[in-house]
A and B are shown apart, each in its own frame.
Chain A
Amino acid sequence: MPTLQDRLDEFKRNFESGGPPYNAPREKIELLHRATAELKASGAEERALKVGDHAPSFTLFNQDHVEVSSAELLQQGPLVLSFFRGHS
């Protein structure tokens, strides 16, 4: 089973070589690189919460429109919390 990073690297190789379905032209790929470099340079990673910080609690709707509260979940056990940007 390839690791997650292997799979991402494969996607990236295809994308950056201009392969389908995106057929990305060189100049667009360079813009994406520039944006990532700028975000890194802005120090954004360092401003995010870190190990040892208290995690903010939240109550949000899940995929079935049921309210889910982090406080209730934590009563049952630890959480693996993943922030996913979605389709974009």
Chain B
Amino acid sequence: MELEALQEIDPEVKRQGARIVVLTPEIERYTRAMHKKLNLTFDVLTDLHLKVAEQFGLVFTLPDYLRELYKSFGSTLDRFNDEAEYRLPMPARYVIDQEGIIRAADVKADYTIRPEPCESISALKRIAGEKV
């Protein structure tokens, strides 16, 4: 759902001279299929073994009782993510300016809550406004 919502704002992001980039721990075979299925016009990068997510401080390990639960729903991280330890990134969205400084940050431990994409647009407009 989040990817579809990002796709909706992609034209406006590009008008602001910016770019959407999605990082996922999923292996490339799956990102390619997903990219195609959703007709995405931005890149989805494979952050294998969560190396970049770790640097952003987003990685957590699923407790044992959840591993079994996820398996019972047919979701197996070892298959999709090559991730035997069952680690995941917290859902997060960042807006980064051209100096590499984080200008907006939304990190949610509760994965059922996501920041609205329009908030990212507002951050981009603030950055663009400074240049004028």
Contacts and interface: CB of A to CB of B under 8 A. Distances in A.
B96 to A, nearest CB: 5
Given A39-B109, A80-B18, A63 B43 contact: yes
Contacts of B46: 60-62
Interface in A44-88: 44-45, 47-58, 60-65, 68, 70, 73-88
A86 B30 contact: yes
Contact of B100 (A45, A74, A86): A74
B126 to A, nearest CB: 10
A26 interface: no
- Which bucket holds chain A's interface residue count? 35 or more
Contact of A83 (B53, B63, B97): B53
B45 A4 contact: no
A61 B5 CA distance: 23
Interface residues of B, number: 81
A40 to B, nearest CB: 4
B90 A56 contact: no
Contact of B1 (A7, A57, A70, A81): A7
A24 B75 CA distance: 14
Contact of A80 (B75, B88, B93): B93
Given A35-B62, A44-B90, A56-B52, A50 B120 contact: no
B45 A61 contact: yes
A9 to B, nearest CB: 8
Contacts of B18: 77-80
Contact of A79 (B5, B24, B95): B95
A68 B101 contact: no
B109 to A, nearest CB: 4
Q: Which of B6, B13, B45, B102 has the most C-beta atoms of chain A within 10 angstroms of its own C-beta?
A: B45
Q: Which 10 A-B pairs have the closest CB atoms?
A: A56-B55, A60-B45, A4-B5, A63-B35, A48-B57, A86-B26, A40-B109, A62-B43, A77-B17, A78-B18
